Amino acid sequence: MVRNRVLATKVTWTAAFIAALHLMSSVYVTDGIGVNWGTQASHTLHPRIILQMLKDNKINQIKLFDADHKTVKQFAGSGIEVMLGVPNNQLATFAGSYDKAKKWVKENVKSHLYNGGVHIKYIAVGNEPFLKAYNGSNLKTVFPALKNIQSALNNEGIGDKIKATIPQNADVYDSGTQGPSAGNFRSDIRDLMTQIVHHFRDNNVPFLVNIYPFLSLYQNKNFPVEFAFFDGHATPVQDKGISYTNMLDANLDTLVWSLRKAQASKVKIIIGEIGWPTDGSANADVTMAKKFYDGFFKKMATKKGTPLYPGEIEYYLFSLTDENQKSIDPGPFERHWGLFRYDGQPKFPLDFTGSGHDKMPVGAKGVKYQESRWCAFNSDIKNMEKIQENLDYACTRADCTTLDPSSSCDTLNKNARISYAFNSFFQTNNQDVQACNFEGLARIVTTNESTSQCLFHIALERSGGGKLEMPIGASIFVGLLVLLHL
């Protein structure tokens, strides 16, 4: 009897152990996987829908660009790890006042920490604040803001579990025309970066870096295309006995060398943003994006890291959904980084585990659209004199980047291109009848002009989120490009 009980115990324990291993294996494939979710869009999905998308696709980390209370509270009890954001335009406020930093921490962090609350691990202070394009405007604010926020976290008794860091663009370091071993922080910010990484080293804070092989390809016509991918087909770059065959390894190891030279070699590195756009440029399409992600996920699955940073690398994909109101100063592709469309529907099959078993990601559920109607060019109109100014008007205030050369809607005929622009404005403005007039050039229709390549979208029902203003002039040149193709 005793023997049978012992045997039963062993069997039960063995079964439990096997079940635990099975559970661990299902969790294992999502370890370290996170996504960025930005909301610079005319219409955004409700955070509850976003949460379900993460669960359905076994993604367990999300990085936000602000700390909107209504958004953050939706993640309570979900187990999803959340990184909150402090926008660049708030850096001066927190740099100049510890009390304001303390108040922000109480309202936006501490308020979510309760039994069954939100799992907050990091605070992203600023976003790529040292970009050369900012002309040094954040140099005096970001580090003081970081220290004030971390001090506030410490004083609330949560600083050991929640760390404030700074998402940096990879342009904060470089190696010139040499290999990674020549890497160092940019000379104009080297002293400041040294202070920051010493703070990271002494306070167990990770270094967040945004790495974009696509941008290297986009910005440099001489950049070897295959070096942006992971197929091993690129001509290797040799550096101190190491052979680099992809840009990610070379770039991240350049950071490793930069940290070593700053006496901060033990600082953990997290990839804060990485991805590939699917529209808006010659190299931004679904085929190239899939090639990049397939190679990236396969590489991450090995958990081998880079030659100088071995082991698993934590990362956040950029981005979860498209954002049709992002600035296109860097390029029209900026509005097309999403793995999912604006409405949460997947763009192409992939496998987050890197095992090569591609399938369409699980799309957003419960999405509500506005009426199935579009704004179209009235082809009966013979007076074409006002087309140009009305296209300029539409494309300055709505998104026409898919009409750019080599983009998904570039092959539309003249009338369809005009209709696309008019419809984009119409949907951005919630199908307001007055938004489909254009001095008599347009009319509302119930016929969908979408093609297999080009989507004439329908606006989502408003989720209650705030609507961001379209940067005036940000896309006016798109309207001109539309005309050039007419």
Which residue among 81, 226, 273, 323 is the active-site one?
A: 273
DSSP tag of 344: S
CB 14 within 8 A of CB 297: no
What's the CA gap between 263 and 281, in Å, rounded? 40
Contacts of 310 (CB under 8 A, 6+ apart): 304
Encode 228-251: b = buried (16+ Cβ within 10 Å), e = exposed.
Answer: bbbeeebeebebeebebbbbbbbb
Which residue among 81, 107, 128, 312 is the active-site one?
A: 128
Encode 38-54: b = buried (16+ Cβ within 10 Å), e = exposed.
Answer: bbbbbbbbbbebbbbbb
128 included as an active-site residue:
yes
Supply φ then ψ for residue 173, to 5 degrees: -140, 160
The DSSP secondary structure of 286-334, one letter per residue, reads HHHHHHHHHHHHHHHHHT-B-SSSBS--EEEES-SB--TTS--SS-GGG
- Whole-angstrom Cα Rg for the chain: 25
What's the CA gap between 286 and 273, in Å, rounded? 19
469 included as an active-site residue:
no
Catalytic residue ranges: 128, 273
